[in-house]
Amino acid sequence: MKKYILLAFIGIASLTFGQDVEFKGSNFKEDKDGFKTAKEELDLGTEQWLLGNAQVFVVKSPEMFYKKGLEHFEKAYAFNPNSAELNFKIGVCHAHSTNKDKCISFIKDAHERNPEVDPFIDYYMGFALQLDGKFEKAIEFYTTFETEYRKADDFGKFVKQRKNECKAGMKLVPNPIRAWIDHVPELSSAFDDYAPSVTMDGEEIILTSNRPNANQPNEVGVYDDEIYSSVFVDGKWQKPRVLKGKINSKANDVSNNLSYNGTKMLMSRINAQGNMDIYESFLKGDTWSEPVSFSRDINFKSNERFASYNFNDRSIYFAKDKENGKNGYDIMVSGVKVKRDRSYGLPVQVLDVSSQFNDGPIYLHPDGKTMYFASEGFDSMGGYDIFMSKKIKGGGWGQPINMGYPINTPYDDYFFAATANGKYAYIASNRAGGKGGFDIYKVTFWGEPKTPLFATEDYLLASVAKPIQDPELVGAVKVSSQANLTVFKGITIDAITKKAVEAVIDITDNRTGKVVESFTTNSATGKFLLSLESGGNYGIAVKADGYLFHSENFDIPDGSAYNLVNKTIELKNIKIGSKIALRNVFFDTGKSEIRSESFAELDRLVKLLKDVPALKIELSGHTDNTGSVQSNNKLSQDRAEAVVNYLASKGIAKNRLVAKGYGSSRPVDTNDTASGRQNNRRTEFEITGN
Amino acid sequence: MKKIALSLFFAVVGFTGFSQIEELTPEEQFYRDSIMHLNEENAAIQLSQTAYNEGIAAFQKQSYNTAVKMFTESINNDPKFTPAYFNKAVAQNSMKDYKGAIKTVESLLEIKPDYAKAFFQRALAYQGLSDFLNAEKDYQKAIELEPKNKKVYYNYGTMKFMQKDYYEAIAQFTKVVMLDPEDAYAFNDRGSCYRMLEKYSLAVKDYQEAARKNPKLTFVLNNMGTTQTKLKMYSDALTSFNQALLVDPNFYLAYNNRGVTHMEMGRVDDAINDFTKAIQINGDYAPAYSNRAGAYFKQEKYELAKKDADKAIQLNPKLADAYVNRGMALEMLRDMNGACKDWQKARELGSELAKAYHSGNCSN
């Protein structure tokens, strides 16, 4: 039982780690023809592979060697995918392609099958792990390689650089910069899309792509690079279109840098001698001109590419390699001599930004102080990284600063084209996760850390915090109870004669018992006029000489009509000896019967006698002197008695009444005139007792 | 007075002869008319006084419209009743009918030209209309007529404060404390003048004096705390806020401001707790939401930050800080258009920071 378990384990282990099935005839006895063909492909591929190796060894482009080798290897791989050697070689081809991520699985597979498959297996294992971001592990492989590598050549600089890259990665990746990197699918394809150059307003982008185009692909099926343009509409880049005009040829045309105003462009293409040169194309309307080369001062025998305008248009920066050089492309600058002739001086290497490896592309910010460039050297974390360098006052450029993760990765990250405000930039990268090859990525910088706003709130003014409760109003008042006044008008008259009597009046407010008014009525008219509070009950006391004291009670109602109350106070004469003529007692001529119109006055006399029971009077009759004394005496006596009888008939005791006829003996006026005689004809009474 | 008038009348009227009692002589007619007029006058005074008292009652219930109506009725019934004019002007000021108050005071001053308090009221009305020139004239006139009325100096000082003439405001508040050394309000307000002049130490000194005069004034303790925060006297600031909260545990401003102090001290969690407490007490207090949004932003909790900023803006659509903070959260949530819209809005509302963020982030 144990045996079976052990066998099963070995079987699983074999499947897991794989076996190295070498390209040996003994391994493919049953398919000798197939093996022969595959082996031929492997050998053909290896020829190209070695040429590619030789190129990269001197920091040069592997050109088409790896691509050609890969074509052969893939055929061999179809026959035998289990060869450590083949997997390794395929991995190396991918490692130097624009699809580096593809190398990882092949290299790891090769290492698993045979950790000693190639002297460089540890180097490439380090490389694969570096791409995978496993920097510490990568360093271990690089160190192993370094230890075991015995050749006395220059390759050590690559290993040293890779280890430095890993160290840089260990430093940079855990401290990402404040930016987002977004793949731009609209601008990217499964092919190489790179060399973005954006207008200052960020509304148009120029890029280069080897996506299928109208030209014929090369021997390995790759199309030539063409320059495209895309515009930004409604927050999205439109499908890139090949630039109009003669800027694109049937060979590779690579955009380098669009001028700041977007009217001219630096580009590179292969010249007739097979070297890459820098050209310039000009925009006329919407058409780009046939690219014009620069003078020999710039375009010499070597390769020149990745040119960039300077902010003041007084110089051009570009990358140049050296014939037989081992440091790849270096960054050069060439100053303008005669602008109109587009003549430039001899280029000078910008040492501050040139490394032992490929440097460039270059982008000079319009601020004139900042250079962004890509380099495989310095503290790149792998492949090309983008660096920033600040111009130093007095000349030269400052220490290149890695733009950091995630702008840079262990893959190739290059080209940097910023919008005017520096918020956005576009780069090209062949990092894993794109559509394939180089893709276009958008960088969105967060800028300096933003500080949220925190607001405190105060009641700085106390009166706002706690409004003063004293509103400063003038206080309430006691509502005055001023009663309505009623005009109290009156007259004091003799009760009998109706003549005015001067009297002293006291008016008492019965609610309070207080005398509210005290006055004397007018002596001539007996009138008085005053105002009293309405709604009250008053007592009035009237005193007049010779008259009976008069007292009564009366109301002044609220809202008296017209605010007027009239009062006639009749006073009763009680003075002994007073003689009062009863002018309203009438008799027919010569008769003693009292006429009815006399009763009113006589009734007042009755009232007086009743009101003053002690009063005794003498009723006297008087005539004028017309007629005989005797008849006048009798008539006057009769009339006096008639009055007495009337009074007695009204309940007045006769003993209080005396009737006397005086005839014409007591005239009060002349008898010579009618009116005098009228006055003399009268009935009087005199108070005789009280 | 009435009796004298009657006696005089009596003497004047005289009697020209007997007449029928029902009929009135011209003199009697005149007398009766005068009594009727007096009755009407008395009735009007009574109505005036009743309406006046009702006006005061309405004012005390803060029914200013009714108060003005009643004071107007009082004036209509008794146009010489100056307290009604004055109180009407106070009520008009209270209901911010400053033009009406000025008109009322003008009528009052025609009757009583040296009425100091009337000038004071008119000064308040002018101040309400931002007619500071005329307000100042009236304050000065009121001071001239009543030089020991500290309220005039106090209000004059507050007006100067609002005009940002802090030195003149300090002069006025100083006069108040000279007249009444126990006036905590004046000390507080003078402290605030110093604060606005960035003389924070002097400000704290005055706030402390105000707190000594009246330790129950939470706003004084709050002002002191925020000023101490400006002086980076964080521990003292926390003490001040804590004292304020001891006096009034529901004083949400103190929680909010203590939260800001915690933020200054880097205590984000404590700050969030305080902002939350402020919100619990006053769910409509937009600045606490905005501040908590800022704290969440610091914690990189952008969704929470956005949610709080949303609420702050809903509560107060003119709160620029909330737009700034929401813009920042939106940026981190990858809504750059939204962020730019918010910063633009905050910029329109006067935020300098939003201006910087907008110009630095929202153009190509």
CB contact under 8 A, B15 and A458: no
Instruction: Say which of A200, A463, A476 has its CB closest to residue B53.
Output: A476
Nearest chain A residue (CA) to B229 = A456
Is A520 within 8 Å of chain B by CB? no
Between the CA atoms of B291, B295, B297 and B298, what dihedral angle is there, to the nearest 10 degrees? Answer: 140
Report the distance separating Cα B188 and Cα B203, nearest Å.
Answer: 8
Q: Which residues of A touch B222 (CB under 8 A)?
A: 458-459
Is B125 within 8 Å of chain A by CB? no
A142/A301: higher pLDDT: A142
pLDDT interval class at A394 (50, 70, 90): confident
Å between A678 CA and nearest CA of chain B: 23
pLDDT interval class at A690 (50, 70, 90): confident
pLDDT of residue A6: 41
CB contact under 8 A, B21 and A566: yes
Residue B283 backbone dihedrals phi, psi, to 5 degrees: -65, -10
Is A487 within 8 Å of chain B by CB? yes
Judge whether residue A563 has pLDDT over 90. Answer: no
pLDDT interval class at A560 (50, 70, 90): low
Mean pLDDT of A264-287: 93
Q: Which residues of A touch B52 (CB under 8 A)?
A: 476-477
Give me the DSSP letters along A190-210: SS-EEEEEE-TTSSEEEEEE-
Read off the pLDDT of residues A624-647 as tens digits, 9 standing for 90 and up.
998 899 999 999 999 999 999 999
Report the distance separating Cα A437 and Cα A190, nearest Å.
Answer: 6
Comparing CA positions, the residue from A205, A208, A250 lying closest to residue A232 is: A205
Domain layout of chain A by residue ranges:
15-172, 179-445, 485-571, 579-689
Report the distance separating Cα B192 and Cα A310, nearest Å.
Answer: 55
- Spelled out in words, what is the top-level CATH class assigned to the domain B44-113? mainly alpha
Q: What percent of chain A has pLDDT over 90?
A: 59
Mean pLDDT of A392-397: 90
CB contact under 8 A, B360 and A447: yes
Helices B320-332, B352-361: inter-axial angle, 10-degree rounding: 30
Is B13 within 8 Å of chain A by CB? yes
A296/B212: higher pLDDT: B212
CB contact under 8 A, B294 and A454: yes
CB contact under 8 A, A457 and B256: yes
pLDDT interval class at A16 (50, 70, 90): very low
pLDDT of residue A597: 83
Read off the pLDDT of residues B121-137 as tens digits, 9 standing for 90 and up.
999 999 899 999 999 99
Judge whether residue B10 has pLDDT over 50. Answer: no
The answer to whether residues A623 and A636 touch, using CB atoms and an 8 Å cutoff, is yes
3-state secondary structure A16-42: HHCCCCCCCHHHHHHHHHHHHHHHHHH
* Average model confidence (pLDDT) across chain A: 89
Q: Kindly report the length of chain A.
A: 690
Q: Among 3.90.15.10, 2.120.10.30, 2.80.10.50, 3.40.50.920, name the CATH number for the domain at A179-445.
A: 2.120.10.30
Q: Which residues of A touch B87 (CB under 8 A)?
A: 473-474
Alpha helices in A97-188 (DSSP H): 103-113, 121-131, 135-148, 156-172
Q: What percent of chain B has pLDDT over 90?
A: 84
Instruction: Say which of A460, A471, A528 has its CB closest to residue B59.
Output: A471
CB contact under 8 A, B83 and A482: no
Mean pLDDT of A586-590: 85
The answer to whether residues B252 and B278 touch, using CB atoms and an 8 Å cutoff, is yes
Judge whether residue A253 has pLDDT over 60. Answer: yes
Is A467 within 8 Å of chain B by CB? no
- Number of C-beta neighbours around residue A470 at 10 A: 7
Q: Does the domain formed by A579-689 have CATH 3.30.1330.60?
A: yes
**Considering only residues 40 to 59 of chain B, which have any Cβ-Cβ distance to chain A shorter than 8 Å?**
42-43, 45-46, 49-50, 52-53, 56, 59
pLDDT of residue A189: 97
Is A484 within 8 Å of chain B by CB? yes
The answer to whether residues A154 and A326 touch, using CB atoms and an 8 Å cutoff, is yes
State the burial class of residue A332 (Cβ atoms within 10 Å of its Cβ: 0-12, 13-18, 19+): buried
Å between B340 CA and nearest CA of chain A: 13
Read off the pLDDT of residues B297-354 as tens digits, 9 standing for 90 and up.
999 999 999 999 999 999 999 999 999 999 999 999 999 999 999 999 999 999 999 9
pLDDT of residue A468: 64
CATH (residue range A485-571): 2.60.40.10
Domain layout of chain B by residue ranges:
44-113, 285-364
3-state secondary structure A500-564: ECCCEEEEEECCCCEEEEEEECCCCCCEEEEEEECCEEEEEEEECCCECCEEEEEEECCCCHHHE
Sorted by sequence, the CB contacts under 8 Å of residue B91 that are 6+ apart come out as: B55, B59, B64, B67, B68, B71
Judge whether residue B23 has pLDDT over 90. Answer: no
Report the distance separating Cα A547 and Cα B310, nearest Å.
Answer: 102
pLDDT interval class at A598 (50, 70, 90): confident
Lowest mean pLDDT among A296-310, A434-448, A508-522: A508-522
pLDDT of residue B22: 53
Is B77 within 8 Å of chain A by CB? no
Instruction: Say which of B21, B155, B364 has its CB closest to residue A491.
Output: B21
Report the distance separating Cα B49 and Cα B55, nearest Å.
Answer: 10
Read off the pLDDT of residues A342-377 as tens digits, 9 standing for 90 and up.
889 999 999 899 888 899 899 999 888 999 999 999
pLDDT of residue A559: 62
What is the amino acid identity at position B202? L
Judge whether residue B19 has pLDDT over 70. Answer: no
Is B32 within 8 Å of chain A by CB? yes
Q: Is the bond leading into B79 cis (omega within 30 degrees of zero)?
A: no
Q: Residue A148 region, left (φ>0) first, then alpha (ψ -120 to 50), else beta?
A: alpha
Q: Which residues of A touch B151 (CB under 8 A)?
A: 468, 472
Read off the pLDDT of residues B181-231 as tens digits, 9 standing for 90 and up.
999 999 999 999 999 999 999 999 999 999 999 999 999 999 999 999 999
Is A616 within 8 Å of chain B by CB? no
Mean pLDDT of A544-551: 80
The answer to whether residues B254 and B218 touch, using CB atoms and an 8 Å cutoff, is yes
Read off the pLDDT of residues A303-336 as tens digits, 9 standing for 90 and up.
999 999 998 889 999 999 887 667 789 999 999 9
Report the distance separating Cα B315 and Cα A235, nearest Å.
Answer: 31
Judge whether residue B8 has pLDDT over 80. Answer: no
Quote the distance between the C-alpha of residue A85 and its chain's center.
67
Read off the pLDDT of residues B26-85 as tens digits, 9 standing for 90 and up.
888 888 888 888 888 888 899 999 999 999 999 999 999 999 999 999 999 999 999 999
Sorted by sequence, the CB contacts under 8 Å of residue B281 that are 6+ apart come out as: B250, B252, B255
Nearest chain B residue (CA) to A181 = B334
Q: Which residues of B touch A524 (CB under 8 A)?
A: 15, 17
Report the distance separating Cα B175 and Cα B97, nearest Å.
Answer: 29
Nearest chain A residue (CA) to B84 = A474
CB hemisphere CA count around B153 (13 angstroms): 23
Tokens of A500: 């005015």
CB contact under 8 A, B10 and A472: no
Q: Which residues of A touch B217 (CB under 8 A)?
A: 462, 465-466
CB contact under 8 A, B364 and A423: yes
Superfamily of domain B285-364: Tetratricopeptide repeat domain (1.25.40.10)
Nearest chain B residue (CA) to A516 = B3
Return contacts of A285-291, CB within 8 angstroms, 24+ apart.
A286/A244, A287/A244, A287/A245, A288/A227, A288/A243, A288/A244, A288/A245, A288/A246, A288/A247, A289/A245, A289/A246, A289/A247, A290/A245, A290/A246, A290/A247, A291/A246, A291/A247, A291/A253, A291/A267
**Considering only residues 175 to 214 of chain A, which have any Cβ-Cβ distance to chain B shorter than 8 Å?**
180, 200-203
Q: Which residues of A touch B331 (CB under 8 A)?
A: 446, 450
Q: Does the domain formed by A15-172 have CATH 3.30.1490.440?
A: no
Sign of the alpha-carbon dihedral angle for B228, B230, B233, B236: positive
Q: Classify residue A350 by its DSSP letter.
A: -
pLDDT of residue B34: 86
Report the distance separating Cα B200 and Cα A289, nearest Å.
Answer: 68
Nearest chain B residue (CA) to A424 = B364
Q: What percent of chain A has pLDDT over 70?
A: 96
Give me the DSSP letters along A254-271: EEEEE-TTSSEEEEEEE-
3-state secondary structure of A416: strand
- Number of C-beta neighbours around residue A275 at 10 A: 16
**Considering only residues 228 to 267 of chain A, which have any Cβ-Cβ distance to chain B shorter than 8 Å?**
235
- The residue behind tokens 């007398």 is B31
pLDDT of residue A57: 84
The answer to whether residues B208 and B221 touch, using CB atoms and an 8 Å cutoff, is no
Å between A425 CA and nearest CA of chain B: 10
- Number of C-beta neighbours around residue B86 at 10 A: 23
Tokens of A261: 């105003």
Read off the pLDDT of residues B134-169 as tens digits, 9 standing for 90 and up.
999 999 999 999 999 999 999 999 999 999 999 999
Is A452 within 8 Å of chain B by CB? yes
- Among B2, B7, B18, the residue to mutate for chain A (most A Cβ within 10 A): B18
A552/A133: higher pLDDT: A133
